[in-house]
Amino acid sequence: MASFDMVSKVDLQTLDNAVNIVSKEITNRFDFKGAHVVIDLNKKDFKLNLEADSEMKLTQIIDVLISRSMKQGLAAEIYDLTKEPHQSGKVTKQEIPVRNGIKQEDAKKIVKLIKDSGLKVQVAIMDDVIRVTGKKIDDLQDVIQASKSWDTGIALQFVNMKN
């Protein structure tokens, strides 16, 4: 039986590198000269804390963050941008959680998508990992191809392929 695992892991060092690159780029930009900008990565909680003078500058920081992260090999879906920025005195703040791991409800959606695809594979949820098992490796590759077209909102990686 062939199998592989679907995971959603973020490499902390790569994320830290992307945040450092964004910090350097923002401090060197002409439109941010003399502006209050804070880009802080909380490595323990996997959260980014952003501060800027205005919501427009905060949006520009997020755009640069996403583009630089993608150049570092991180997917744009790792950032949970659902929280709205809020005003705190003269600065605008936003907390951006970094998605690390597959939540239970997301895992159930993915399992349902796999079962609805009609492929002959077995699926099991193990904590924040989804194990897909099949008789043929071609079936597993079909699952990987199909999963790339799904809009799950999370960045999936396929690891631990065994034949």
CATH 3.30.70.860 domain range(s) in the chain: 2-8+101-162
User: What's the pLDDT tens digit per position in 96-124?
Assistant: 999 888 888 888 999 998 888 888 889 99
Domain topology for 2-8+101-162: Alpha-Beta Plaits (3.30.70)
What pLDDT digit, counting tens, does each position of 34-81 carry? 888 999 999 998 999 999 998 899 999 999 999 999 999 998 889 988
pLDDT above 70 coverage of the chain, percent: 100
pLDDT at 62: 93
- Does CATH place domain 12-97 in 3.10.129.10? no
Q: What is the pLDDT of residue 163?
A: 82
pTM: 0.81
Across the chain, mean pLDDT equals 89
- Under the banding of pLDDT at 50, 70 and 90, the label for residue 160 is confident
DSSP the chain: -EEEEEE----HHHHHHHHHHHHHHHHH-GGGTT---EEEEETTTTEEEEEESSHHHHHHHHHHHHHHHHHTT--GGGB-TTSPPEEETTEEEEEEEBP-S--HHHHHHHHHHHHHTT-SEEEEEETTEEEEEESSHHHHHHHHHHHTT---SS--EEEEEE-
Domain with CATH 3.30.70.990 in the chain: 12-97
Region 129-144: mean pLDDT is: 89
Residue 149: predicted pLDDT? 85
